[in-house]
Amino acid sequence: MKIAVVGATGLVGSKMLQVLAERGFQDHEIIAAASPKSVGREIPFDHRTLEVLSVEDAIAQRPDYALFSAGATVSKEYAPQFAAVGCVVIDNSSAWRMDANVPLVVPEINFHAVKPDHKIIANPNCSTIQMVLALSGLHLRYAIRRIVVSTYQSVTGTGMKAIRQLELEEQMGSSRAGNSGISSPASQMAYPYPIHRNLFPHGGDFLPDAYTTEEHKLVDETRKILGDDSIQVSATVARVPVTGGHSESINVEFNNEYEISEARDIIAHTSGVVLYDDPQELRYPMPIISEGNDSVFVGRIRRDPSQPKTLNLWVVADNLRKGAATNAVQILQQCVARQ
């Protein structure tokens, strides 16, 4: 097969190449594509190097599949062009997620939504993926009525510029200890405020209703993936100074009563999920545990004493892997297996 990775030089694109090699695609023809400024660069893949092509040249190669991680604008322009030459596009941007004709897929939950004639498949938002995977088995058993979720999102979700900002501010902070007013030069700022020794309740762009685009994704994508528009979701997104993965505090109310022991068992047996929960041993999910791992970790499972039929849990996952690259490659694997 020919497999293109569009946005191959970015954080998620680089991770897609890594996951492709890990999951048995290293012997296929891999086409790396990126923006004009990256054309001609050589990037590592498995035990060889790939020369970066323009997106137009990648289309001319007529790949069988294309993994996109180049932003919504690029996806809107080029995904249909890849599809027109018979390529199946698996897109990691927000461009197609809420399109009624495009399946939005977490393979463990709803790969059945992908039909043979679908040429564009959407990869959900990273925060949505880990939340719905953790809750999917519980929804089947108890029927979710309402979710209140607060996310604590890694700077890696914003990209390389955000990582550089954090690193620079850490260096400045170590030489100017106690100065809470430190910030990067404006040209190196990915965020409107310092992120080192700080966090802010802001992810994405603010909308007229005072929620952000990242918060709306958690609402809309959850309903589409779980196939239930009646689920109520209230979301707050925060950016925190970590790099290992996204964390989420989730309060979920069910339509039906549950037992803690059964809920724990359901979570433990959900594909792609690791039950990581032993408070007496201080065992709970953290980004430092999830980093580099494809699983979604769930812990701090406890009944909400203030609300009937309601459960609290804490969910952590590597947002570059299961939250993006791994989920896309898993979709690819299932598409190939179905051929």
DSSP for 185-212, written as a single string = -GGG-SSSS--TT--BS--S-B-TTS-B
Q: Is the pLDDT of residue 174 over 70?
A: no
Q: Catalogue the active-site residues.
A: 126, 246
How confident is the model over 72-96, as pLDDT tens digits? 999 999 999 999 999 999 999 999 9
Q: Is 244 helix (H, G, I), strand (E, B) or coil?
A: coil
Tokens standing for residue 9: 């030089």
Listed residue (89, 97, 68) closest to 223, CA to CA:
97
Check pLDDT > 50 for residue 177. Answer: no
Q: What is the mean pLDDT of residues 316-338?
A: 98
pLDDT of residue 290: 97
Lowest mean pLDDT among 24-28, 112-116, 169-173: 169-173
Render pLDDT for 97-138 as a digit per residue (tens, 0 to 9). 999 999 999 999 999 999 999 999 999 999 999 999 999 999
Predicted confidence at residue 241, as pLDDT, reads 97
Look at residue 178 in the predicted model and tell me its pLDDT. Answer: 45
Annotation: CATH topology of 2-123+324-338: Rossmann fold (3.40.50)
Beta strand 65-68 with 88-91: parallel, antiparallel or unpaired?
A: parallel
- Round to the nearest angstrom and report the end-to-end CA distance of the chain: 12
- Work out the average pLDDT over 253-267: 98
- CATH topology (fold) of 128-320: Dihydrodipicolinate Reductase; domain 2 (3.30.360)
Does an H or E element contain 315, and which? strand 310-317
- Least Cα distance to 264 among 301, 290, 296 occurs for 301
Q: What is the pLDDT of residue 180?
A: 54
- Ordered by start, the domain boundaries in the chain are 2-123+324-338, 128-320
Q: Check whether 193 has a pLDDT greater than 80.
A: yes
If you average pLDDT over residues 190-196, what whole number do you get? Answer: 95
Whether the per-residue pLDDT at 212 is higher than 60: the answer is yes
